[in-house]
Amino acid sequence: MGRLRRSLAGEHPRAERLGAVRALAFVGAVLLGVLTIYCFWLLLSVGAFWVVRLEFIVELFEGVYQAGR
């Protein structure tokens, strides 16, 4: 947390001054990524009611997660 505070204050020697807009954009992008993964997992869980074997759903999610990684 100290490094972020120094960067925000412009005191870190190698870092550019981190603007509030860039910090909020980063937080927004992370939140949208988490929301996307949550929605995909929710879609797979709802689809599990029509699929008999649930382990196929978990394998599918793991495969998509690893591909995105």
Local structure of residue 69 (DSSP, 8 states)? -
Q: Tell if the pTM clears 0.85, that is, is over it.
A: no
How long a stretch of residues is the chain?
A: 69
At 6, list the tokens.
Answer: 């120094």
Domain ranges for the chain, please list them. 2-68
Note the pLDDT of residue 33. 92
At 61, list the tokens.
Answer: 């999610």
* Cα–Cα distance, 17 to 14 (Å, whole number): 10
Q: What is the pLDDT along the chain (69 residues), one digit of tens a residue?
A: 566 665 565 555 555 666 888 889 999 999 999 999 899 888 877 877 776 666 777 787 788 778 877
